Amino acid sequence: MKYEEFRKKVKGVPIVSGQYLKLAVDNTQAFKNQVGRWVKAGKLLRLRRGLYILNEDDRKINPSRLFISRELYSPSYVSMEFALAFYGLIPERVADVTCVSTKKTAEFQNTLGRFVYQHVKKNCFTGFREMKDEAGLGYFMAVPEKAVVDFLYLNQHLFKGQYDMVAGESFRLQNMATLNVQRMLQYAELFKSKKLTSIVKAIRHLINRKMS
């Protein structure tokens, strides 16, 4: 198959999966080699094994990295540092797309950036909602309170001494008054970690001091 014919078949598809390739063409070794040549030529971009996207000039749909994060590793939702920056809860811009998954911890690096996935237990895989990117494609994003709790849980080994001081100064958490602390405590209890619950309670005191 020539590239132009292939492009016409898939230009309306946001991400081209190996499963879709089987439907679009005869999945022969010769075609696999052709795909490899298209990747080397920059016509196709490989996101991970068996998952591709057309180059920017040839694709009709431009999916966001947030949508791609959902397709790369599922089930997953965007959380932790990326979500905290998204909600303005930390001052830094975050380049990596950080996610939570019930699968094992994983990381993918491709031409669109770095995608990091941290494992949580199934009973903690909650507190997220579906959102749409500019192309109208859906992805899952943690609500602000769950993004904070996920971040605290996965970094609790760094908390020593005064938990509120670490949260406010070392991690530079900001705009915390916008959060529903009771909801944060409910999410924290799912992890069954006394330290995590203590950290969230310390942050509650920090928020109350700043509001008084």
Q: Give 127's pLDDT tier (boundaries 50, 70, 90).
A: very high
46's CB contacts (< 8 A; 6+ apart) are 39, 52, 110
pLDDT of residue 168: 57
What is the pLDDT, as a whole number, of residue 83? 98
β-pair type (106-110, 113-119): antiparallel
More confidently predicted of 75 and 161? 75
pLDDT at 32: 75
Give pLDDT tens digits for 15-59. 988 766 665 566 566 777 888 899 999 999 999 988 999 999 999
Residues 6+ apart with CB under 8 A from 186: none
pTM score, two decimals? Answer: 0.90
Dump pLDDT digits (tens) for 65-111: 999 999 999 999 999 999 999 999 998 889 999 999 999 999 999 99
Summarize the confidence of residues 120-143 as an average pLDDT.
97
